[in-house]
Amino acid sequence: MTRRMDPLTAEVVDLFGTVVARYHQEYDAAAAVHHLTGAQARVLALLAPGPLPMRRIAERLKCEPSNITGIVDRLEAQGLAERRTDPADRRVKLAAATEEGSVTAERLRDSLEFAREPLAALSEEERGMLRDLLARMVP
Amino acid sequence: MTRRMDPLTAEVVDLFGTVVARYHQEYDAAAAVHHLTGAQARVLALLAPGPLPMRRIAERLKCEPSNITGIVDRLEAQGLAERRTDPADRRVKLAAATEEGSVTAERLRDSLEFAREPLAALSEEERGMLRDLLARMVP
DNA sequence: CGGTTTCCTTGACAAGCTGAAACATCAAGC
DNA sequence: GCTTGATGTTTCAGCTTGTCAAGGAAACCG
């Protein structure tokens, strides 16, 4: 009943599993430094480029909008985000990073890349190859 | 205050973020097919090679042992795992996959690889390169 | 205007996770 | 042997994430 699986693919999938687990740990750890959970950090990072309706956040994170309500609540409680009513459509609430939130988001991004740097114990050329391969995988 | 960050590394980190998010979605979806959550599926996969003390599971998953208690409880409730007392040390409980649990674990692994296959829209050679690069990243 | 749709929030509930406390068992020293 | 301390698991309270169903407000449309 077992499907034949080419061993190379199996190996790559396994490696991805390991790398993914590691990415998560480091992401959560980096977030914790700023007293954030992983989900809160993800939302804050999403808000960095500019305000976003709650619904858009949910779409990006592939979860229910009701879930975002609580996360933004907690960001707001820490003074990192705020809600504004969209003047163009008073139904929608725009979540926006505060000044402090923007700073935190930037620091978070830096520490993330920094944390992931040793993981990329690869040469410039190898990183380039990796980028190309990964880019092909995300259409 | 911003640390200088070479753009290539930043790009790779971003790509990893995307791939990681995708991996998770697919993993959870594959688990859901078998009426499992992501965490339950991970534990079951860990149990596939053989029984494991609760503590070891926690170490592998990098979480508290008390967390594993609940997860194994739910696997046990579904008849996919069982607890045995280690005869060598009666303090430790060995979690083991049942017959049905083993079958489920195997199916899960297959569907995972299958699900991740389109993601690997890469040639044999490219997959080989990817494997080598990833392998260098996980010491 | 009235009906429908869209956006957000609320409430109830399950699961994952942590930390502290409790309990049983082992292991070492006296 | 007995005591003391360390270890493995569980239980409990508490928080965050996530879902789903229901509700209110605002926009849209006929």
ipTM: 0.89
- Confidence label for A59 from pLDDT (cuts 50, 70 and 90): very high
User: How do beta strands B93-97 and B81-85 pair?
Assistant: antiparallel
| Percentage of chain B lying above the pLDDT 70 cut | 94
Of B9, B25, B129, which is closest to A133 when you measure between CB atoms? B129
Q: Is B80 exposed, middle or buried (0-12, 13-18, 19+ CB in 10 A)?
A: buried
3-state secondary structure of B98: coil
Contact predicate B73/B98, CB 8 Å: no
CB contact under 8 A, A12 and B127: yes
- For A85-108, what is each residue's pLDDT tens digit? 999 999 999 999 999 999 999 999
H and E: helices and strands count for chain B: 6, 3
Mean pLDDT (whole number) for A127-134: 90
Residue in B with minimal Cα distance to A104? B2
CB contact under 8 A, B106 and A11: no
For residue B128, list chain A residues with Cβ-Cβ distance below 8 A: 8
Domains of chain B: 22-137 (1.10.10.10)
Contact predicate A137/B120, CB 8 Å: yes
Pairwise CA distance, residues A67 & A77, whole Å: 16
- Confidence label for B100 from pLDDT (cuts 50, 70 and 90): very high
* pLDDT confidence of residue B3: 52
- B92: the nucleotide nearest its CA (via C1') is D8
CB contact under 8 A, A10 and B113: yes
Pairwise CA distance, residues B18 & A62, whole Å: 12
Pairwise CA distance, residues A47 & B76, whole Å: 41
Estimate in Å the CA B10 to C1' D14 gap, whole number: 37
- Confidence label for A118 from pLDDT (cuts 50, 70 and 90): low
User: Min CA distance, A83 vs chain B (Å)?
Assistant: 26
Pairwise CA distance, residues A62 & A65, whole Å: 9
Q: In angstroms, what CA-CA distances link A61 with A46, A94, A96, B4, B109?
A: 9, 16, 16, 28, 25
Of A24, A113, A133, which is closest to B9 when you measure between CB atoms? A113
